[in-house]
Amino acid sequence: MGQTPAVSSVSLPENAGRWIGRVIVAVLVAEGIWGLLTSLTRNVIVPALARTMGGDAQSPLYLGKGDFNFPALFISILELCLAGIVAVALNYWLGRGPRTAVPRIATARRATAKPVSPPPAAKPTQTAVPPPPAEFWSPPAPKPETAKVPTKSAKPQEVYYNIVGEPINPTEND
């Protein structure tokens, strides 16, 4: 009998803090609404009934002089607005997830190339597409330079096309 019972640790769900915050938001808004309803009843509805009913000041059914208290009603409206602002701010704060550090990936520096202008007769038909982000694409490794052998430049052969766009040989006679 000298043994102490093992106490199991109570684990709360991961979103228990959010539920507690939501309950607090609900209580704040409910308190603001309840304050507005009581102020509306006490400061507007009961005086309106007292004016319509009239009555003797000695009667137990006497509801008062019938004076409206609009400053108290205005204060309760401001309290409801303040409760709403606090509830929205608290709900926003609860809605944010835990902050996680975003890993930064080192990007390789790209060599800047001089822009090549097209010849004046050629008109570009497509716009330049920027390269994909560095995390999806890495520039190719530079190729080792080889010694260039000068070659004889031959005059390019002229090619003629028919109306359909097929190449034709101009030396052939029909």
* Within a domain: 90: yes
* Within a domain: 116: no
* Within a domain: 67: yes
Query: Is a pLDDT exceeding 80 seen at residue 134?
Result: no
* Within a domain: 22: no
Domain with 75 in it = 27-95
Q: How far apart are CA 12 and CA 7, in angstroms?
A: 15
Identity of the amino acid at 159 = V
2-11, 82-91, 151-160: segment of lowest average pLDDT: 2-11
What does the pLDDT read at residue 6? 61
Number of structural domains found in the chain: 1
* Within a domain: 42: yes
2-43: pLDDT as tens digits = 666 665 566 667 777 888 888 999 999 999 999 999 999 999
Q: How far apart are CA 33 and CA 70, in angstroms?
A: 17
Query: Is a pLDDT exceeding 80 seen at residue 101?
Result: no
The percentage of the chain sitting over the pLDDT mark of 70, rounded to a whole number, equals 57
Q: How far apart are CA 39 and CA 77, in angstroms?
A: 9
Mean pLDDT over 97-119 rounds to 64
The percentage of the chain sitting over the pLDDT mark of 90, rounded to a whole number, equals 22
62-76: pLDDT as tens digits = 677 778 889 999 999
Query: Is a pLDDT exceeding 70 seen at residue 135?
Result: no
* Within a domain: 82: yes
Question: What residues contact residue 41 under an 8 Å CB cut-off, 6+ apart?
Answer: none
